[in-house]
Amino acid sequence: MAIRNIAIIAHVDHGKTTLVDHMLRQAGTFRENQQVAERVMDSNPLERERGITILAKNLSVRWADTKINIVDTPGHSDFGGEVERILRMVDGVVVLVDAAEGPMPQTRFVTRKALELGLQPVVIINKIDRGDADPHRVHDEVLELFMELEADDHQLDCPFLYAVGREGVAMYEAEDERKDLTPLFDTVVKTIPPPTGDAQGPFQMLVSTIDYSPYLGRLAIGRIERGVARVGEPVILLEHGHEGDAPGMARARISKLFSFEGLERREVESASAGDVVAVAGLPNVDIGSTICDPEHPEALLGIAVEEPTVSVDMMVNMSPFAGREGKYVTSRQLRDRLMKELESNVALRVEDTDSPDTMTVSGRGELHLGILMETMRREGYEFAVSRPRVILKKGLNGELLEPYEEVTVDVPEGLMGPVIEKFGQRRGEMIEMKNPGGGLVRLVYRVPARGLFGYRSEFLTDTRGEGILHHRFLEYGPYVGPMNTRNRGVLVSMVDGESVAFALGNLQERSTFFIAPGLPVYEGMIVGENSRQGDMEVNVAKGKKLTNMRASGSDDNVLLEPPRVMTLEDAMGYIADDELIEVTPKALRLRKRLLNASDRKKASRASA
């Protein structure tokens, strides 16, 4: 049977997962009466909540006599590590581009990686039914991007299709009749080259991703580069970077072999070169390892993933409420969970610090780290997190360098002023400004990564919820010195107790609260934001003094504004260096590192 291996890559919200839904339906993967959830590939609860893809996933469809292995990939640049590792598994990519927005930062990042690996692209201009769609302009922008990324002649000569993903239709020309996805399937079969592996040679396979089964243990997923894999055959496992009889060699036996059929894994006895399979029976396998024939221990080139740019300290929760809500609270449990995450999350780094209770966790951005913490929190872990900081490097001449991001924002014409002003305060340089029409202006900035911490919520406020902001890592550049991203102080509780509506009512004129009445608080916990600079200590547990005398106004109803509820990423961008986030399965609390007010005063005097 003929095989094609493709990855679907695009910027976030350009319609990858919706298109894959319709490919599955039209290829006959589901029964006619089968109940199927929308965006069936986003199976993780966090993916469904946020409406984004976080993990790359494998599936296959059959079209005529060809099996098409498809990988659905994340669109956020924070999860670029997921995309980089699976590109070694495929022979071509379907690049999906929005017919109005055109190529966005993540499109550029992943397309560059695909073109460098020599993969054959097929471009789909999606959402041509949008009111502001301009498919011909976007067609030219994609060609310009390919030329900028130094695509070869064969890649530049790739086919362009036009689609409406949510209706499940694709056309060769934008004006063609809208029927189904047959043009897409036919183009993939015709354009994407078949796998080049030699089925007669000795077995060799590169592990691109890891899954876990409670019954079979670790499953190594990848493309068979050469030969045939058979159940029961002995194999040798070469660690990333080893060749021949090097120390990183382990012997094992294939206990189970799975091929991808639709969304499911189907057990098979053998699979040959070019197919994407899952292999069981290798307990110590890692991403980037090579599985091969014991007589021919030849390591394949490993998977290179770009380095992380942002780090946080994760530590044991030491607050007065420690251990009340979490199931896993010790440093050993926290460490074990982070080490387990390293096995599948290739863009993550975990390092020990001088303190046995604290570990430094580095990733691609706030969202990358925030998703990890949110996942751990839902599993029952309890811990504290510091403010994110960028990873600095030394230049060739010893100068200090920091990461810069390319930020693309679409803002309504009348609301550009505050956005340009805020980027100026955050040391951003405008690279490009264009008005494609439709009432939105596109601004492209080069901004230090530190300048974006906590900016997204401000941006949405400044643009009244109409602005769109995307960013990707650009390069390391000169360090621009200290940067203040928070202009207001916080309200810090001075007592242990329970918040009272009467106390909050008296304070709300000069502040915004993060808590509601009736919640337990402790000394040093941050309960709100001050309306001016400088922190203010407040007593939110102060009740109303009751007497047997009646006075006018004593029975007034206390009207409180709703508290400001922060997500984990919002909180990470908000806190200062002397503050922490207490993360538990039931709550997120902000607190000072030093809970006692006199201790904080001594520390500030000592640092002055």
DSSP line for 377-393: HHTTB-EEE---EE--E
For the cut 50, the answer to whether the pLDDT of residue 243 exceeds it is no
CB 500 within 8 A of CB 540: yes
Residues 399 and 528 in one domain: no
Greater confidence (484 vs 568) lies with 568
Greater confidence (136 vs 74) lies with 136
Confidence of residue 376 (pLDDT cuts 50, 70, 90): very high
CB 286 within 8 A of CB 222: no
For the cut 80, the answer to whether the pLDDT of residue 29 exceeds it is no
User: What token pair was written down for 471?
Assistant: 């960013």
Q: Which domain holds residue 214?
A: 204-292
Confidence of residue 381 (pLDDT cuts 50, 70, 90): very high
User: What token pair was written down for 403?
Assistant: 């990461």
- Mean pLDDT, residues 149-176: 87
- The CATH number of the domain holding residue 428 is 3.30.70.240
- Mean pLDDT, residues 220-241: 84
User: What token pair was written down for 318?
Assistant: 């030491």
Residues, the chain: 608
Predicted confidence (pLDDT) per residue in 481-533, tens digit: 887 777 788 999 999 999 888 888 888 887 888 888 889 999 999 999 888 88
Confidence of residue 240 (pLDDT cuts 50, 70, 90): low
Predicted confidence (pLDDT) per residue in 107-157, tens digit: 777 788 888 888 899 999 988 888 888 888 889 989 988 888 888 888 888
Q: What gap in Å lies between CA 134 and CA 341, rounded to an integer?
A: 42
Amino acid occupying residue 590: L
Greater confidence (362 vs 37) lies with 362
For the cut 70, the answer to whether the pLDDT of residue 604 exceeds it is yes
**Tokens 């916080």 found at:** 490
What pLDDT is stored for residue 242 in this prediction?
A: 42
Confidence of residue 42 (pLDDT cuts 50, 70, 90): very low
Residues 102 and 216 in one domain: no
Confidence of residue 546 (pLDDT cuts 50, 70, 90): confident
Flag the least confident range among 118-127, 208-217, 249-258: 208-217
Residues 183 and 63 in one domain: yes
Range with top average pLDDT, 101-110, 288-297, 440-449: 440-449
Q: Which residues contact 177 (CB under 8 A, 6 or more apart)?
A: 171
- Mean pLDDT, residues 184-194: 89
- The CATH number of the domain holding residue 600 is 2.40.50.250
User: What token pair was written down for 2?
Assistant: 């003929």
Predicted confidence (pLDDT) per residue in 62-73, tens digit: 888 888 888 877
Please give the backbone phi and psi of residue 211, each rounded to the nearest 5 degrees, phi first.
-125, 170
CB 418 within 8 A of CB 409: no
Give this prediction's pTM.
0.76
Query: 56 in a domain, yes or no?
Result: yes
What pLDDT is stored for residue 49 in this prediction?
A: 58
3-state secondary structure of 461: helix
Residues 56 and 114 in one domain: yes
User: What token pair was written down for 307?
Assistant: 């380095």
Query: 440 in a domain, yes or no?
Result: yes
Residues 10 and 45 in one domain: yes
- Mean pLDDT, residues 439-457: 86
3-state secondary structure of 193: coil
For the cut 50, the answer to whether the pLDDT of residue 582 exceeds it is yes
Query: 332 in a domain, yes or no?
Result: no
Q: What gap in Å lies between CA 500 and CA 517, rounded to an integer?
A: 5
Beta-carbon-side half-sphere exposure of residue 6 (alpha carbons within 13 Å): 30
For the cut 60, the answer to whether the pLDDT of residue 250 exceeds it is yes
Residues 63 and 180 in one domain: yes
DSSP 8-state secondary structure symbol assigned to residue 562: P
Q: SS3 string of 490-501? A: EEEECCCEECCH
What is the DSSP secondary-structure string of 128-173? TTSTT--HHHHHHHHHHHHHHTT--HHHHT--EEEEEGGGTEEESS
Q: Which residues contact 424 (CB under 8 A, 6 or more apart)?
A: none
CB neighbour burial string for 349-358, b if at least 16 within 10 angstroms, e if fewer: ebeeeeeebb
Flag the least confident range among 31-45, 257-271, 381-395, 477-491: 31-45
Confidence of residue 79 (pLDDT cuts 50, 70, 90): low
Quote the number of domains for the chain: 4
Strand partners of residue 352: 359
Residues 426 and 525 in one domain: no
Residues 60 and 93 in one domain: yes
Residues 83 and 182 in one domain: yes
Residues 412 and 443 in one domain: yes
Query: 325 in a domain, yes or no?
Result: no
CB 491 within 8 A of CB 509: no
Query: 270 in a domain, yes or no?
Result: yes
Element containing residue 529 per DSSP (H, E): strand 525-530
CB 384 within 8 A of CB 314: yes
3-state secondary structure of 333: helix
| Residue after which a domain boundary falls, among 452, 478, 504 | 478
Confidence of residue 77 (pLDDT cuts 50, 70, 90): low
Confidence of residue 383 (pLDDT cuts 50, 70, 90): very high
What pLDDT is stored for residue 525 in this prediction?
A: 93
Query: 32 in a domain, yes or no?
Result: yes
- The CATH number of the domain holding residue 54 is 3.40.50.300
Confidence of residue 562 (pLDDT cuts 50, 70, 90): confident
Residues 508 and 401 in one domain: no
Per DSSP (E only), the strands in 262-391 are 264-267, 270-272, 276-280, 290-292, 310-315, 349-352, 358-363, 383-385, 389-390
CB 483 within 8 A of CB 426: yes
Pairing of strands 536-538, 490-493: parallel
Residues 105 and 162 in one domain: yes
- Mean pLDDT, residues 38-54: 55
Please give the backbone phi and psi of residue 239, each rounded to the nearest 5 degrees, phi first.
-70, 160
- The CATH number of the domain holding residue 245 is 2.40.30.10
For the cut 90, the answer to whether the pLDDT of residue 581 exceeds it is yes
Query: 528 in a domain, yes or no?
Result: yes
CB 102 within 8 A of CB 10: no
Per DSSP (E only), the strands in 398-460 are 400-412, 429-434, 440-448
CB 166 within 8 A of CB 14: no
Q: Which residues contact 451 (CB under 8 A, 6 or more apart)?
A: 423, 426, 427, 428, 483, 485
| Residue after which a domain boundary falls, among 453, 478, 503 | 478
Residue 405 vs residues 83, 117, 324, 365, 420: alpha-carbon distances, Å = 19, 24, 40, 10, 16
| Residue after which a domain boundary falls, among 292, 321, 337 | 292
Pairing of strands 2-10, 92-98: parallel
Query: 349 in a domain, yes or no?
Result: no
